[in-house]
Chain A
Amino acid sequence: MNILATAATEHRGLTITLFGIFVLATLGITIWAGSQTKDAADFYAGGRGFTGFQNGLAISGDYMSAASFLGIAGAIALFGYDGFLYSIGFLVAWLVALLLVAEPLRNSGRYTMADVLAFRMRQRPVRTAAGISTIVVSIFYLLAQMVGAGSLVALLLGVSGEGAKRWTIVAVGALMVIYVAIGGMKGTTWVQIVKAVLLIAGTALMTVLVLAKYNFNVSALLGAAADASGKGTAFLEPGLKYGATETSKLDFLSLGLALVLGTAGLPHILVRFYTVPTAKAARKSVLWAIGIIGGFYLMTLALGFGAAALVGPKTIKASNPAGNTAAPLLAEYLGGGAGTTGGAILLAVISAVAFATILAVVAGLTLASSASFAHDLYANVIRRGKASEKEEVRSAKLAAIGIGAVAIVLSLFAEKLNTAALVALAFAVAASANLPTLLYSLFWKRFNTAGAVSSVYAGLISSVTLVFFSTVVSGTEKSLFPHADFHWFPLENPGLVSIPIGFLAGWLGTLLAKDKADPAKAAELEVRSLTGLGAH
């Protein structure tokens, strides 16, 4: 048994109690929100009644997943500077959302991303494509979170064995379905807000404690981290993780592109812009989100280097080879060390925050995908726009249960998959399939149905296919199928190839199509997206 697991048995009761309080409080909020949810706009968009600041917190809650809290802190603790590279892409990406997407989307759409893509196109083909890509992106992201949740619980609670992991995945899945089916967007948004506040408070507390150890001298902290890493100044320079070969350098470029262009195409982020009353409030929510997320990533820098300096890479690796427990281990150290009451309390608090993080993010993903299923695929494609509002919301709730079930089953099979690769894949699909279509729809008048359909499918199929034939799936010991080798694509992240394919296919599809864009609808979208005239 490693150190953390031994400590875990001591603080387990406390962690479970704290987490239980979070679950009870959020269930209370969910039931209250459910009683306030009367129509489709309440269920899908929280009644559009949130303020820019509230939504900014909720966006941050949706975005700061366990992968960024535990994963980035761990990557910095083990790989030093290269771990930091992730957070820069994740943050800069928000400028794409702020400048090009948030306000036009808020003005033009109603409940889903497909509302904007299908605005001036033939509804059924475009909504089918956009609905499928929404669900695919959300499921990849959902898998990453749930698989992560399974192994995390085992680590943090000190329970080993496959049974505990599986029950965790099932329990997380059941809770997220309850949040979404009962609380809708209103309940889910409040869960995100509570979680964001907890996560920021926890991270800020640890950051202050780390910096206090070095008299708030950042350079001294970096020096101590470099010394403790055993790699010297190389620890503070790029290259430890991505600099090995020409291929890994290209892979890093590909990852960087997917990160910076993916955020503005993530459906669970896009639907957040519908929860505020106006485009100006959507802008304000992104501004708050940039401030909160940026501050959070700066703090993970202190946590990562702090963990390297104070806990040391040997202890971190012994607990979890990927470094995912660096932040909890650091919490224990800062509280007074293993075996102390302070250490146990801080470890329990940070573990409970990590669980809350996972739970909130999966709820957001389930909501976005079930909303798209009900509003795009069921109401507009299957029922051809003839479903009543009540039927539509009921189908969304049923879809939440269905997607929850699918996610649970897939997560049980995908336990071995690398969660970071799954998240990066979700970003790559979003950047290849969703972003090109969204930008063309908003900014290119000639863009038409054929262009929209080809850009979604080309981006979606190329990114998923390239990953299937990469080392993520086969060819190395870390692959999904370690004993088979049918890989020919050298990179782990498909973005470098599939994002240009998505843009190119949208352009070619538009030029080659016989049906022209509808000029009246194009004018309507343009005026509405810029002025909010006729916005919901």
Chain B
Amino acid sequence: MDSPPTADSTPTEVQLIEESAEFAALRKTFRGFVFPVTAGFLLWYLLYVLLSSYAPAFMGIKLFGHINMALLLGLLQFASTFAIAAWYARFADRRLDPPATAIRERAIVINPRGAGE
């Protein structure tokens, strides 16, 4: 938690990591996934909430048996939540964990104090 105060002129080791191309690529990969996906599922959820309030006729359309549009869309919210979670897990395993581990381990080799308190 408590790192020594840093001089303004010389960048700290962590700042050098942060400015490295490797880290920039990791950040880009991470944000490139989570920002659009978050925007997507929030809009999809909002659409569902608004349809529930303002489009009762549409939501009442019967599809088969007693299953109507409202129930189908509600269950689709469940399905999309499960799917996005699984998608992110795969993505993180393949695209985020390897570079994050590489950056962390190299930093620890250079400066063992960075390995945690």
Q: Which residues of chain A have a CB within 8 Å of any CB of chain B?
A: 81, 84-85, 88-89, 91-92, 94-96, 98-100, 110, 115, 218-220, 222-223, 226, 233, 236-239, 242-243, 249, 252-253, 256, 260, 280, 283, 286-287, 290-291, 294, 297-298, 385, 443, 519-521, 523-524, 526-528, 530-536
Contacts and interface: CB of A to CB of B under 8 A. Distances in A.
Contacts of A95: 38, 41, 81, 84-85
Contacts of A239: 52, 56
Given A238-B52, A519-B15, A530-B100, A92 B41 contact: yes
A222 B78 contact: no
Contact of A237 (B45, B65, B70, B117): B70
Contacts of B26: 530-531
Contact of A84 (B33, B67, B74): B74
Nearest to A519: B15
The A interface is mostly helix, strand or loop, or mixed, namely: helix
Given A92-B41, A280-B97, A533-B107, A236 B71 contact: yes
19 contacts: A88-B74, A88-B78, A89-B45, A95-B84, A115-B1, A226-B66, A238-B53, A238-B59, A239-B52, A243-B56, A287-B86, A291-B82, A294-B81, A523-B15, A524-B12, A524-B15, A532-B104, A533-B17, A535-B116
B1 A88 contact: no
B66 A99 contact: no
B78 A253 contact: no
B85 A98 contact: yes
Contacts of A223: 65-66
Contacts of B49: 85, 89, 252-253, 256
A91 B78 contact: yes
Contacts of B95: none
B111 to A, nearest CB: 10
Contact of B66 (A222, A280, A385): A222
Contacts of A283: 89, 92
A523 B107 CA distance: 14
Interface string B1-33: 111001000011011011100010011001101
Contacts of A237: 56, 59-60, 68, 70
* Among A220, A297, A527, residue most surrounded by chain B Cβ atoms (within 10 Å): A527
Contacts of A280: 92, 97
A300 B42 CA distance: 24
Contacts of B37: 99
A218 B67 contact: yes
A503 to B, nearest CB: 13
